[in-house]
Amino acid sequence: MKPADFALVLFPLLANASPYQPTYSFDRDDTITQINEDGRSLWEETAVASIGSKKAVEALSQQTLSYNADRQEVKVLEAYTTTADGRRIDVPAEKIFDQSSPRSRYASMYGNFKVKVVVFPEVDIGAKLTVHWQRLNTVARWPNALFDNETVANLSERHQATSHTLKAPEGMVLHWQSLDVPPPEVRHVNGQQILHWRFPTHPGLPREDDAVGSNVYSPQVVVTNVGNDQTAADAYWSRARSAIAVTPVVQKLADRITVGLTDPHARAVALYEWARKNLRHIDLELWRGDVVPHTAEQVIKNGYADSKDAATLLQALMAACHLRSSQALVMDRDSLPTSINMPLVDHDRVVLYLADEKRFIDPGMSLAPFGQIDSNVLGQEALVIDPESGKAQRLRMPVLRSDQDQVTTLNTLTWLANGDMEGQGEVNFRGAADLLARYIFRDIEPGTEDRVTERLLNQVGLHGTGRFQLADIQDTTRPMWFRSNYRLSQVANMPGPAALRLPEGVGIGVSIRDALETSLPDTRHFPFEISAGMRIEHTEIRLPQGLQILSLPKPVQIENRFGHYRASYQVQDGVLKVERSLQLDWPSTTVMPRDYPDFKALGDRVRQDLHAQVLYRMP
């Protein structure tokens, strides 16, 4: 397997990197996975961590290992602290205990989620913490002993000696790919095939703002016995197919939801909206719990659903209305490097694909408009399963596009004689920005609008007060909008002559400036997310009577392979009018380090214009 291009230059960069010092390091981290013929497995780890700072003392004094007690058992075989002066202090038995996982508070219906807690004694700088534990999968997750196994050495951590060993029956056909890890040593002992990978030593790199998850670029090994996509699809669909049965209960509900509707699209939207509004949505990765969905009828009775249950119910409802849909298995963007491309059975979530509309829909998102997909899976390949034949195909999920993902902002201000400004703003959202805005505003408590407005103004360097109002967050059939009324203090130095930097108004982090924040660093070593789409910003400022504009910024047009930026400035009938637009289009949701110089060049030039000022004076 050829590693991603960014990985080819990564380790030379490590050697010349600035003296970044991780707060802790792994002197040793060895994992062993034993795969049995019946699909059960045993994972075992021995790790030794060196404490290098007070921050590491706080972070590692208490360590946890998560598990699902319905399907797994965890044992701590050994745990102790080696102090800086060489004393070994074992962890007392009462300091090794089980707790309910935070996940159990919202997903208890999908598993008995727990954490095994180990509290180390006398942890201080210079100490070493050793833990040796096992996690036994007591129940095979997939039929035919299918499995996936991923081992990652996080690149932001210092790893001195890391290895992974996988043991499997001799007759089991294994497939593996790796990123920046040499090929394994392979042995055959007593009917077992034993593969042993030694990971490269690396000192660790600092995290970069807005970088994708470390799983995407860190050294890793992925092993599976899944031979092709159809095998992966069969493993899920063989037990999920019966769950979409159109029972009388399902048919009655579908008829009630679509009464009076004849257009297929309208019926699909109505069914989707019912599921979105009436199910309590559980955010849980597919592989964490039982991978077999509840029946559609049971989901109706339960009133809650994770992604697979929501997809199962909606597919059954659509089948009751003679609408075609297919379940699709997909991984989140941060799950694997793009360079690792192999059939796998474990996925993060289930969505639906509507072949007649050539559209993905995500019934597991409580605030998503019909057809809007979670940003974590945009651009990902989905394994789409035909419900009748069970045949699988890979389809690429959509990426952000300027013709559908848009933010349009209008700010109308009055420049007062004392240098303050009064303004009204309106922001309209489409596509991914619409979904983002709904989740942002969902968490704002009623009655706090004044304080929130003040904070939003402070984030863009303005001081003032105001209030805002919103569209109905729950009404996903209408576009999301946000309106504000505000007063800005001492924006302009009167009477001048002076320079005015044009105020942005009240925003929520989706402006032109925000879209280009990822272009601020001088260099990047890791892939990062791009906020593609179209942003249009209109600003009109009514000038004080008699104010003279001495100089306006010049019109700007900037283009490169990431997109284009336009800006114009004029005074007409006593009103300063500013038009700015940024169009970003990119074939992926992430940008690789090799492409960063062009993106930064665009960002730097746009920021120059955003900082442009208007020269003025009163006579």
CA distances (Å), origin 429, targets 277, 581, 611: 21, 15, 25
pLDDT score for 182: 97
Residue 579 three-state SS: strand
Class of domain 231-396: alpha beta
Has residue 5 got a pLDDT over 60?
no
Strands 528-529 and 590-591: antiparallel
Q: CATH 2.60.40.3140 in the chain, residues? A: 5-213
Q: CATH 3.10.620.30 in the chain, residues? A: 231-396
pLDDT score for 19: 58
Q: CATH 2.60.120.1130 in the chain, residues? A: 406-617
* Span of 17-31, 229-243, 378-392, 532-546 with lowest mean pLDDT: 17-31
* Token output for 612: 């442009």
Has residue 80 got a pLDDT over 90?
yes
* Token output for 325: 């849909």
pLDDT band at residue 377 under the 50/70/90 scheme: very high
Has residue 73 got a pLDDT over 90?
yes
Distance (Å, rounded) from C-alpha 107 to C-alpha 116? Answer: 18
**How many angstroms separate the first and last alpha carbons of the chain?**
71
User: Are 145 and 36 within 8 A, CB to CB?
Assistant: yes
pLDDT score for 448: 87
pLDDT band at residue 461 under the 50/70/90 scheme: confident
User: Are 100 and 81 within 8 A, CB to CB?
Assistant: no
Has residue 72 got a pLDDT over 80?
yes
Q: What is the pLDDT of residues 210-252, one digit of tens each?
A: 899 988 999 999 999 999 999 999 999 999 999 999 999 999 9
Q: What is the SS3 assignment for 247-290? A: CHHHHHHHHHHCCCCCCHHHHHHHHHHHHHHHCEECCCCHHHCC
Has residue 447 got a pLDDT over 60?
yes
Has residue 107 got a pLDDT over 80?
no
Distance (Å, rounded) from C-alpha 502 to C-alpha 569? Answer: 11
Q: Give the domain 5-213 fold.
A: Immunoglobulin-like (2.60.40)
User: Are 257 and 316 within 8 A, CB to CB?
Assistant: no
The answer as to CATH 3.30.1390.20 being correct for domain 406-617 is: no
pLDDT score for 382: 96
The residue length of the chain stands at 619
Please name which of 161, 195, 194 lies closest in space to residue 46, comparing C-alpha atoms.
Answer: 161
* Token output for 161: 């000696």
> What is the residue type of 132?
H
Higher pLDDT, 108 or 588: 588
pLDDT score for 36: 96
Number of helical H runs and strand E runs in the chain: 13, 35
pLDDT score for 14: 40
Distance (Å, rounded) from C-alpha 311 to C-alpha 619? Answer: 67
Q: What is the pLDDT of residues 86-103, one digit of tens each?
A: 999 999 999 999 999 888
pLDDT band at residue 198 under the 50/70/90 scheme: very high
Distance (Å, rounded) from C-alpha 437 to C-alpha 428? Answer: 10
Mean pLDDT over the full length of the chain: 93
Q: What is the pLDDT of residues 582-612, one digit of tens each?
A: 999 999 999 999 999 999 999 999 999 999 9
Q: Is 260 left (phi over 0), alpha (psi -120 to 50) or beta?
A: left
pLDDT band at residue 488 under the 50/70/90 scheme: very high
582-613: string of b/e by CB count within 10 Å (b at 16+)?
A: bbbbbebbbbbbebbeebbebbeebbebbebe
pLDDT band at residue 109 under the 50/70/90 scheme: confident
